Structure 1
């Protein structure tokens, strides 16, 4: 018997406007995961605001490529979680700018095994090219 965890969050439709890159994967495969459970290659779509429990979609989705969190990281982003009382994970690094999240934070992902890795298109930035 498996354990089921329920999350009290609001998952809205991915924004389709000029501020958000189009999602090139099947959004029907989107799943909630705790940041500590995100795997390399999972496509990250959104994090959730702790107060409102609403999805905060990133302007462009990106594949996770996590590494260890350092409270003394000089990136300028990690400092915001340096005093976080619990564990923190870093889901990606964009050339010296980290993406840290509390380990128990909810993240909306498309898991690696569900992704239909496609060749890069002109709309995708080099940061978001599929992992090979």
Structure 2
């Protein structure tokens, strides 16, 4: 009875949700703090909203990667997953830069992009590194 309960707990997706939830909130806190230190005007909740909305391309790449994982894996399919993830990463980073770039002084926009880049890089790394079906 206990073994069946443990197997069901592994299948519910709890740890994955918790990881993404914490990463999004910590990422938004870092992006907000960086923006404030650079002289920008953005609140924490604006940062959470923009970073959350800009996760859509990463979510689409996750769905495509999960569909690709159904097939027998080889180097070509991994390369396809990598390309799909890179496109989602670039799209999400660009979209967040467009939204959050207006809250920065023009001379410091490059410094403000770095934590956004790292945030979406970590999310993309989680997408590409997930290899079991």
TM-score (norm 1): 0.24
Higher helix fraction (1 or 2): 2
